[in-house]
Structure 1
Amino acid sequence: MGMEQENKKPEDFAIIEKAIMSFVDRYPGQLSPNDLAEWLGMNSFALQEICNRWAGVSPNKFVQYLTLAHAKECLAETEDGMANVYDAGLSERGRSHDLFVSVQTKTLGEWKQADQNLFIRYGWHSSPFGDCLIAVTDRGVCGLAFALAHGRSATQEILFRPWNARCIIENPKVTSPFAKCIFYDGGEVPVVLRGTRFQLQVWQALLRIPPKKLVSYGGLATAIGKPGSARAVAGAVARNPVSWLVPCHRVIHQTGSISGYRWGPSRKRAILAWEACKGGASIRAAGVHPMR
Structure 2
Amino acid sequence: MTQHQTLPNQTETAYHYQVVRRAIDLIDQAEAPLSLEQIAAQMGMSVAHFQRLFSRWVGISPKRYQQYLTLGHAKTLLRDRFTTLEASHAVGLSGSGRLHDLFVRWESMSPGEFARGGEGLTIYWGWFESPFGPAVVMGTEKGICGMGFAAEMGEDAALQDLLSRWPKAEFVEDPMMLRPWVLQAFGAGDGQLNTAPLFLIGAPFQIKVWEALLSIPSGHVTTYSEIAQAIGNPRAVRAVGTAVGRNPISWLIPCHRALRKSGGLGGYHWGLPMKRAMLAYEAVHAEN
- TM-score tier by shorter-chain length is 0.7 to 0.9
1:194 matches 2:204: no
- Counterpart among 256, 261, 267 of residue 249 in structure 1: 256
Secondary structure in 1 aligned to 2:130? coil
Alignment of 1:1-292 (within 5 A): 5=9, 8-26=12-30, 29-79=32-82, 83-84=86-87, 90=93, 98-112=101-115, 115-183=118-186, 184-185=188-189, 187-279=194-286
TM-score, L = length of structure 2:
0.86
1:200–1:63 distance in 2 versus 1, CA, 3 Å: same
1:138–1:4 distance in 2 versus 1, CA, 3 Å: closer
Paired residue type of 1:236:
A
**Structure 1 residue 107, shift from structure 2 partner:** 4.0
Distance in 2 between residues matched to 1:105 and 1:255, nearest whole Å: 32
Please tell me whether the aligned partners of residues 87 and 208 of structure 1 are also in contact (alpha carbons under 8 angstroms): no
Paired residue type of 1:262:
H
Please tell me whether the aligned partners of residues 83 and 221 of structure 2 are also in contact (alpha carbons under 8 angstroms): no
List per-residue Cα deviations over 1:47-70 (Å, max 9, x = no partner): 211122101111122111112333
Paired residue type of 1:255:
S
Greater Cα offset, 165-174 or 81-90: 81-90
List per-residue Cα deviations over 1:245-283 (Å, max 9, x = no partner): 1000001222322241111111111111111112289xx
Greater Cα offset, 44-53 or 69-78: 69-78
Distance in 2 between residues matched to 1:115 and 1:82, nearest whole Å: 30
1:271–1:89 distance in 2 versus 1, CA, 3 Å: farther
**Structure 1 residue 225, shift from structure 2 partner:** 2.1
1:174–1:81 distance in 2 versus 1, CA, 3 Å: closer
Distance in 2 between residues matched to 1:276 and 1:89, nearest whole Å: 23
Please tell me whether the aligned partners of residues 217 and 252 of structure 1 are also in contact (alpha carbons under 8 angstroms): yes
**Structure 1 residue 25, shift from structure 2 partner:** 2.3
Distance in 2 between residues matched to 1:93 and 1:80, nearest whole Å: 13
List per-residue Cα deviations over 1:183-220 (Å, max 9, x = no partner): 11263111011111111110000000111111121222
List per-residue Cα deviations over 1:102-129 (Å, max 9, x = no partner): 1101244234469332111100000000
Please tell me whether the aligned partners of residues 213 and 255 of structure 2 are also in contact (alpha carbons under 8 angstroms): yes
Distance in 1 between residues matched to 2:201 and 2:264, nearest whole Å: 29
Distance in 2 between residues matched to 1:25 and 1:86, nearest whole Å: 40
1:276–1:151 distance in 2 versus 1, CA, 3 Å: same
Please tell me whether the aligned partners of residues 66 and 269 of structure 1 are also in contact (alpha carbons under 8 angstroms): yes
Distance in 1 between residues matched to 2:230 and 2:67, nearest whole Å: 29
Percent of counterpart pairs with the same letter?
A: 36
Paired residue type of 1:52:
S
Greater Cα offset, 116-125 or 231-240: 116-125
**Structure 1 residue 83, shift from structure 2 partner:** 4.3
- Gap regions ≥5 residues in structure 2: 1-6
Greater Cα offset, 123-132 or 16-25: 16-25
Greater Cα offset, 236-245 or 168-177: 168-177
Greater Cα offset, 202-211 or 34-43: 34-43
Paired residue type of 1:13:
Y
Give the total of aligned pairs.
277
Which residue matches 2:3?
none
- Gap regions ≥5 residues in structure 1: 282-292
Greater Cα offset, 70-79 or 268-277: 70-79
Secondary structure in 2 aligned to 1:115? coil
Secondary structure in 1 aligned to 2:197? strand
